[in-house]
A = this chain, B = another copy of it.
Amino acid sequence: MAKKQEFVKEITSREENFSQWYTDVILKTQMVDYGPVKGTMVIRPYGYRIWELIQQQLDARFKECGVQNAYFPLLIPESLLKKEAEHVEGFAPEVAWVTKGGHEELAEPLVVRPTSETIFCDMFSKWVQSYRDLPMKLNQWCNVMRWEKSTRPFLRTSEFLWQEGHTIHSTQEEALEMTMQMIGVYGKFAEEVLAMPVIIGQKSDKERFAGAVATYSMEAMMQDGQALQAGTSHNLGQHFAKVFDIKFLGKDGVQEYVHQTSWGVSTRLIGGLIMTHSDDRGLVLPPRVAPIQAVVLPIAMHKEGVIEGAEKIVESLKAAGIRTEFDTRDQSAGWKFNEWEMKGVPVRIEVGPRDLEAGQVTIMRRDTLEKSVLPIEGLAEAIVDLLDDVQEGLLCKARGYRDERIFEANDLDELREAVEDKHGFASTMWCGSRECEDLIKEKTGATSRVMPFEQKCHGDKCVCCGKPATVNMLFARSY
């Protein structure tokens, strides 16, 4: 017991070392562990349950958009990957190659998918004949692999889990609409389910997906002021359609190329929600993705009627659809308090003999650490409401935190100050040139994040070169 309590206290504070704090939190809560191959992670049950809850809720939203799930092969022939020039250039440096099957060398090397545009295109070209076959809106939940040099669990690993949507349409307008719809779905999901506020906008040409016409992204601010690209939606235009020959017979009897989109979010979202909400005691989980939403702790368990009384409460919570844990382990209350706080369970419910006598329980909410007393009668309904409050409170707090850390920057000095001294985002006017974008990176370490859909105007001069600016761009250091 002593050992374990110490364990909890071993979490480094965010102030002292944010990066170490993150590592402590994810390892000590047993969300994840390092795999035997460098750069890989094992997602343990407590982390994986969060992914399952993300999947369920996001998948339902996809299905509402008419998207159907499918599964495409892991291995892609080199020749397919190479078809779209910009795409292969972007991905070739970071793919893993299968060169041997059983005891034989393969005639053609295969890549472990880093993303699946090419193999979807290959099949689309077989499946589509006429406008009647369109739109085709597919998605897959799968693993992908990118051979990264520098890795961190959830944020950047050589293998990760994600979903990738791939759709084809008969018109440019429809493809653009789909691209926008999906980044919108992601944004709403991030805010409503993960309680993670995001800024949505378009990426610069430098930062867009290899092979896309335009990439849209949602960017979140972590508690260290760095940006996390949390989801992207690409308008692929007809780039892939032309090299993969995905044609359809239009209503007018003319052969045309399809217009395409792709979009994805990954287990990176888990890293994002941790770095958005958690604190020096450990995880703080938004109720909608918390594996355990409420933990019931019987106090003085050995006293007559306590276990039975607490059990009744557990049953009523479960019946109300609350993911409830009943902790009857033989440990001290103090030890359990620490454990469940570290694990970020949104609500703790203490049930002692005196509580039961008085027909009440003691509640602690994890986000504010506030305690209160609630009557047992109608408790389940009260907890449902409380969980909604916690969910809303987390979003509100994170939004306030972020909004305070977006600074208008009118020159390079102010930009550097915003990201380096003030640990935030710089909202700038930008001329749109690659030269300025590169120079900003060199001088400040910040990269362009997005041109927000909600454009702000801070004048008419580029933050870097002083020439006429065309757009409001957010710059930040990023994960």
Of A34-42, A310-318, A380-388, the segment with at least 4 beta carbons within 8 Å of chain B is A34-42
Tell whether, in the assembled complex, residue B112 and residue A80 are in contact, meaning their CB atoms are under 8 Å apart.
no
CB of A45 closer than 8 Å to a CB of B: yes
Selected from B45, B49, B80, the residue in CB contact (under 8 A) with A138 is: B45
List, in ascending order, chain B residues with CB within 8 A of A97's CB: 98-101
- Counted per complex, copies of this chain come to 2
Complex CA gap A286/B456 in Å reads 57
Flag if A68 contacts B93 (CB, 8 Å): no
Q: Would B119 and A35 count as touching, CB distance under 8 A?
A: yes
Q: Mark A60-91, 1 if CB is under 8 A from B, else 0.
A: 00000000111111111100100000000000
B99 touches A71 (CB 8 A): no
CA distance in complex: A33, B138 (Å): 15
Contact residues of A with B, CB < 8 Å? 33, 35-37, 40-45, 48-49, 51-52, 68-77, 80, 92-103, 109-110, 112, 119, 122-123, 126-127, 138, 142-143, 145, 147, 158-159, 161
A35 neighbours in B (Cβ, 8 Å): 72-73, 119, 123
A71 touches B100 (CB 8 A): no
- Which of A49, A68, A74 has most chain B Cβ within 10 Å? A74
Chain B nearest CB from A78 CB (Å) reads 11
- Cβ A68 vs Cβ B45 within 8 A: yes
Cβ of A97 to closest chain B Cβ, rounded Å: 4
Chain B residues, Cβ within 8 Å of A74: 112, 143, 145, 159
B42, A71: Cβ atoms under 8 Å? Answer: yes
* CA of A76 to CA of B112, assembled, Å: 14
Q: Given the interface contacts A96-B98, A138-B45, does A75 sit within 8 Å of B123 by beta carbon? A: no
Known: A36-B77, A36-B119. A72 touches B138 (CB 8 A): no
One of B70, B110, B159 near A44 (C-beta < 8 A): B70
Q: How far is the CA of A49 from the CA of B138 in the complex (A)?
A: 12
A94 — which chain B residues lie within 8 A by C-beta?
102
Q: Which of B70, B147, B161 contacts A43 (CB 8 A)?
A: B70
* CB-nearest residue of chain B to A149: B102
